[in-house]
Amino acid sequence: MKKGSRFTQISIFLILLMCIIVGGYYMLTRRPVKNTQEETESSVVGTLLAQNYKNNYPPTPKEVIKQYSEITKAFYNETYTEEELIALAKKIQELYDQELIDNEPEDLYLRALKAEIATFKDQSIVISSYATSASTDVDYFTQDGFQWARLQCAFNIRQGTQMGVIREVFLLRKDGDGHWKIYGWDNAENVELADNE
């Protein structure tokens, strides 16, 4: 084999390799850009819906309220389908005490939830963050043969450039499976804390 022909082969190979690299780079950079915000929103809702509370229930009252708060944020901040909204509503009810669920028929619950979400979205109100009580600030007590826990959660909301805080006190009751379930909640300003021990 001649020296010139070997050089020609190497040159052709390098030129082809360069074309492949340049062509690949061009294709990658010219691809249509997907809407990252939509992907993030659907992944937030998808992640929440993928939670399996039957096999992996939150172990503490604080963790229960964190899960509740994540779903609540999704209700008011994310974009989702009607089916996803219904699935999220059912998912959050998995954190509720059965008495709380029994107090409101499902159709009324969904109607009230949709109306509240619509109000927030019409007024461009979003939940920017939340903070639960420290674990040491959870108030545990026994009453009427049940174990109870009470703790606060502050929801930081934003409407345009205005910021605000909604503080709520949550009451949880331990069920027969040892799971802390949300029994109810109220605005912290409406709650008088008393020693129930």
**Rounded Cα gap, residues 67 and 86, in angstroms:** 17
User: pTM value?
Assistant: 0.74
Rg (CA), the chain: 27
User: 57 vs 43, which has greater pLDDT?
Assistant: 57
96-147 pLDDT, tens per residue?
Answer: 999 999 998 999 999 999 999 999 999 999 999 999 988 889 999 999 999 9
85 in Cβ contact with 112 (< 8 Å): no
Pair of tokens at residue 71: 């779903």
Residue 31 has pLDDT above 50, yes or no: yes
Structural domains of the chain in order of their starting residue, each with its CATH number: 42-190 (3.10.450)
H-state helical runs in the chain: 3-29, 36-49, 61-77, 82-93, 98-102, 106-122
| Residue 189 binned pLDDT confidence (cut-offs 50, 70, 90) | confident
**Rounded Cα gap, residues 49 and 86, in angstroms:** 11
100 in Cβ contact with 183 (< 8 Å): yes
Residue 3 has pLDDT above 90, yes or no: no
